[in-house]
Structure 1
Amino acid sequence: MSGTLLRLACTAALAAQAALAPLPAAAAPEPRRSVAQLLTDLQQAYRQAEQATETYNATTGKLAAQRAEVKRLDGELAHARLALHGSRADAGRLARAQYQNSSGFSAYVRLLLARDPQQALDEGHVIGRVATERAATLDRLSGAEKRADTLARAARKALDTQLTLAGRQKEQRDDVTGRLSEVERLLASLTPEQHSEVSRLEQEGVQAAQRRLTESGALGEDRPASAEGGRAVGYALDQIGKPYRWGAQGPASFDCSGLTSRAWARAGTPIPRTSQEQWARLPHVPLDSLRPGDLVIYFPEATHVALYLGEGKVVQAPRTGEKVRISPLAANPVLGAVRPDAAPRRL
C-alpha cells in the first residue's frame, strides 16, 4: 500500500472511532438561585465590603498619626543635632584653651612657688570655676550625643512603622476594591426583574424588622437632643443626597463612619473614625434611652453605623452605589447604640 493510501486509511479509521465514541455529557445548567438567595448573597457581599472599608479606614487613621509622629521626631532630631554641633564646638574650644594654658606644674606646686600665696589662692578659685564650667560643657556634650542617638533610633523605628502601615493600607485598599468588584459582578448578573424582586424583598425584611423592634418595646419615648447632638443631626441631614464612597469623610461624599465622625466633629465633639472604634470607645446607651444624635451600631462586628434622628429613624450613608438618606432604625441588624457626648466610658 502506498504511503498516501496508508494515510487515508488511518484517517478514515480515526474518524470512524470518533463517530462511534460516546459524546461527552453536556454541562448541567447552573441551578437558578432564588430571589431570597440572591438577596442573601448581595447582603453578604455588601457587608464584607463595608467590613474591609472600616479596616482600611482604621489603618488610614493610624498611618496619618504615624506620619505626624515621624515629622515630630524628625524635627526634634534636627534640633538635637544642632545642639550637639554647638556642644562639640564648645568642647573644641575647651580643648584648645586647656592645651594653650597647660603647664607641667600642679596647682599645689604653683602655690608653693608663688611669691604671693593669696593671689595664687584667688587664681585657684578662678581655676576651680573654669573646671566646673568645663565639666558642665562635657556633660552637655555627652547628653546631646545620647539624646541625638536616642532620637535617631526612634525616628528610624517610626519610619519603619510608617512604611509597614503604608504597605498594609495598600493591601487593604486592594481588598476593598476586590470586594466591591464582587458586588458589581452580582448586580450585573441580575435581570431587571430579579433586581426589582431583590429590592422588594429587602424592603419587606426591613419593614418587618422595624415592626418587631417597635412592638417589642425596645424603643422608648423620644428624648430631646443635647445641643451637640442637635448640631450633629443638623449637619448629617444637610448631607442627604450625597453619594456613598468608601473611605470618604466629606464634604462631597461619605462612607458610614465618615458621615457620623464628621457630623460629631462639626458639632464640637471629635469621635473615633471607624464604627468599630466608636462602638469600643464611646459610652453605650440602651435603645429605649436613645436621643437624636446617638449612634446606632450594626452587625456583630460593628461594621456599620448610623446617626439616630428620633421616631425610630436614622440618617446614614448606606453602601456603595447609594446616597446618604433617612432609613428605619432596623435597616440592618442592630448591635447597640453609643452616645458621643455622654461621660467618658471606662475601658
Structure 2
Amino acid sequence: MKNGKVTIHDIAKELNIDSSTVSRALSDNSRVTQKTKDRILEKANELGYQRNVLASNLRKNETKTIGVIVPRISRHFFSSVIAGIEETAYEAGYNVIICQSLEQLSREKKIIDTLSANRVDGVLISISMETKNDSNLQVFHKTKTPIVFFDRHFDSSKTSNVIIDDFKSGFEATEHLILKGCKTIAHFSGPQELSIYKNRLNGYKAALEKYKINFEENLVINSKLMESDGVESAQKILAFDSVDGLFSANDNAAIGAIKHFKSAGIQIPEDIAIVGFSNEPISAVIEPSLTTIDQPGLEMGKIATSLLLSQINKKMEDQAPQTIILESRLIERSSSQKIQYQ
C-alpha cells in the first residue's frame, strides 16, 4: 500500500484475483457476478479503499468542477452570489473552486491559467476593474470551455451573461434624488471600460436630461470605488458649494463619503442626499442609513450556474449565448429622506 493509500491492486492481491476484475466490480460492471462484487466491496471497505473520483472523471473528459472568479469575496453581494452558485452546483453533483482577483488583472490571469490546468468543466466570472477585454479568457475559448459572466461582463455575442439593468438602476437612483429636491447631483463612478459603470453613468445622465438638469462633467469622479476613494472624492465635490445630491456606483464609496461629510460638519440628507448601490449590510446600520440599489445576488448565482450547467451538458457549440436581466430595486433609507417644504 504505497503512501498508505489502498489501490485496486491491493484489493486484487488480497483476494487473489485480477486488478481488472476489481476495477469492473467497483464500477458496477455487469460482466462481474454479484457474488464477486460483494466480495470485492467488502474487502475494499475493510482495507479503507477510496475511489479516485478525479481520475475517473478525467477518463470521461469531465471533472464535475466549475471555477468561480469574483473581484472580492468580502463583498456581501459577491458572497451572496457564491451562495447561490454553490447551492445549485451541489444539487447537480458539481464541486466549486472559488477564487478572487482582488481587482487585479495579473491575478485574474493566473487564476484563469490555474483553472484551465485543472480542466474545470465551466467558468463563472465577474471581471476585475483592471480587465479591459477578454484576451485572458482565450484559453477557455480554445478548449470550448463554457463561460458565463455575472454582474460585470463584456458586451459580447459569444458569451452568456446574467446581469441587472444598470442603466435603469442608475436612472432610478438619480431620479430619486431629483424627486427629493436635489438640483446639483454628483456621481461617483468606476472604470468606464466596464459596462456596469458606463451604463450606471448613462442612466444618471438620462435622469438629468429628463428633468432638464444640466450635466456637468466635473461632477463625475471615477475611481476604484473603495471606501478611501469615497473619502477622496467627497473632498473634491465639497469644492462645489451647490452640490446637494450624490449617486455613488457602489455602497463602499458612498460610505466613505458619508464619513467624510460628517467629519466636515455636512448634514445628511439636509445638505447632501446620498444614494449608493449594492445594499451592503453596513448600509443599513451606518448613521444615517444609506439609501441604495439592491441587487438579487443569490438569485443571480443560481441562474448563472443553471445556465452554465446547461451549456456544459449540451456542449457550447450547441447552445446560443443568452443574456438574462434580473430586477433590482431601490431601498429608501435616511440618507436621502429630505424634508420637502411647500
Q: State the TM-score, normalized to the length of structure 1.
A: 0.24
Q: State the TM-score, normalized to the length of structure 2.
A: 0.25
Higher strand share: 2
Higher helix share: 1
